[in-house]
Amino acid sequence: MTKWDLIVIGGGSGGVRAARIAALHGAKVALVEEHRLGGTCVIRGCVPKKLMVYASRFAQELDEAAGFGWSVQGAAFDWPTLKANRDREVARLEDVYRNNLVTAGVTVLDSRATMQSQNSVRLVDGTVLEAENVLIATGSTPDAGPDIEGGELAIDSNGFFELTSLPPRVVVQGAGYIALELACVLRLLGAEVTVVVRGDQILRGFDDELRRHLAQELTQTGIHLRYGRQIASIAKNGTALQVALDNHERLPADCVLRATGRRPNTRGLGLQELGVNLDAAGAVSVDAYSQSSVQCIYAVGDVTNRVNLTPMAIREGHAFADTVFGKLVRTVDHTLVPSAVFTTPEAGTVGLTEEQALRQFPHLDVYRSTFRPMKATLSGHPTKVFLKLLVDRDTDRVLGFHAVGPDTGEMAQLVGITLQLGATKAAFDATLAVHPTAAEELVTMRAPAVQHNL
Ligand code: NDP
């Protein structure tokens, strides 16, 4: 029987990177994927979502065009065209993933795998594969959320990508990345959207000012944010749906989208039976080298519930392969994480939030700029850009960047590099502005809006 150096279970961002790099280091690698190569990010996450975001933003562009002299009457949107083009692009990327694996020498097995022993994996057809090491890279899946009457009538983010037409009235539950991104897509494409938020603000964990600013912007786009509410039940009402909130208010809807978080895909893998420790959320507990409590079983990406972002899964997969097969022992830094929420307007962030910074840095300066973007002066759009830098007064180090507005995701990437280099506010000030841009505000914020002295 073939003995593999590595069997990877899961062909998403983390698994594919780990398999390729391990194979390039000379390891004999098999990757088992039960669905489609590319995982959540490529098949039903980041990539198709961003294509939908682009599609939705044309609606706003068309609205704004009139102020610039354009006449765009008669513009029409066709969901099936978008869906077909999007699905074709996803299929193309899936092929790219497969080719990259094969070119690197990885054997791809289209099957579901479960652990049979610490060093063997069983496929659905009964084949047993022996391996020196196993990497669990099975990702995460939408959590069904609280059990409610009629819950089966709702869709999750996977169901969103299967919609064959734009639902005219949508109720979204949740206020995280997925809920808000998809709410914006639906709203801009023309749906009536109500977002049911259980807490008193969106995007828990983000900078409070960013959260407030983005909430105002979303309200301006016509999204109804219902705070402090839960969905109590969903019922059929003819061909439509009726959502009952926990205050007995009823909302008519054509689609209910629940996005209340994701759970690690460890169910039925047979991990605990082999002594692999899982945490309370069902995630594989790993050390800094992505090694589980069983020496030859590793895990990377969302299944470990560390930082659930594609670039982090890729980093973790790469570091694992370098460490175990490439004699390049290394870990991944999980502390400085640039990220973007692709709402419209989008939010970009990197570093500490004001709330986090204040717990460590008593002399914190907050630089803030809220302004009307140049384009809005002619288009008449009421949006405002929000940019914020947090600076430790004692060292002048920039600790955090938080922004809402066009291209702030792109800004977060670049500001992330400066934070990685330990940039000071003086370095920002010494940098010449690129004029006229929104980002130039980052190098022209002279006086702090707030000076904390704790
Ligand atoms: P999040 O954890 O970001 O958000 C979950 C939301 O659901 C929160 O608003 C939460 O409210 C709410 N919620 C949780 N439980 C309940 C409940 N029982 N009843 C009502 N509401 C509830 O998860 P997502 O699914 O949006 O995203 C999962 C992960 O995917 C993210 O953490 C992110 O890492 C990744 N992702 C990243 C994207 C990007 O980089 N642009 C895009 C999409 C996903 P509360 O705040 O009160 O807890």
* Structural domains of the chain sorted by starting position, each given as residue range(s) with its CATH number in brackets: 3-141+263-325 (3.50.50.60), 151-260 (3.50.50.60), 339-451 (3.30.390.30)
Residue 112, pLDDT above cutoff 80: yes
- How far apart are alpha carbons 178 and 198 in whole angstroms? 15
Residue 145 is predicted with a pLDDT of: 83
Report which DSSP code applies to 272: G
Closest CA to 276 of 293, 295, 263, 264: 293
Whole-number pLDDT of residue 2:
77
* Amino acid at site 99: N
Q: What is the residue with the minimal CA distance to atom 46 of ligand 1?
A: 204
Model pLDDT, residue 250: 97
pLDDT band at 144 (very low <50, low <70, confident <90, very high): confident
Q: Whose CA is nearest to atom 24 of ligand 1?
A: 261
What is the helix (H) or strand (E) element at residue 184, kind and residue range?
Answer: helix 177-188
Please identify every residue annotated as catalytic.
435
What mean pLDDT comes out for the span 243-249?
96
The model's confidence at residue 448, banded by pLDDT at 50, 70 and 90, is very high
Q: In 3D, which of 335, 273, 280, 271 has the Cα closest to residue 298?
A: 271
Contact (Cβ atoms closer than 8 angstroms) between residue 426 and residue 340: no
pLDDT digits (tens, 9 = 90+) for 14-64: 999 999 999 999 999 999 999 999 999 999 999 999 999 999 999 999 999
- Whole-model pTM: value is 0.96
Average pLDDT of the chain is 97
Q: What is the pLDDT of residue 445?
A: 96
Q: Ligand 1, closest atom to CA 259?
A: 25
Ligand 1: which residues within 6 Å by Cβ? 145-146, 173-179, 181, 198-199, 204, 230, 259-262, 308-309, 339-342
Report the distance separating Cα 45 and Cα 49, nearest Å: 6
Contact call for residues 362 and 395 (beta carbons, < 8 A): no
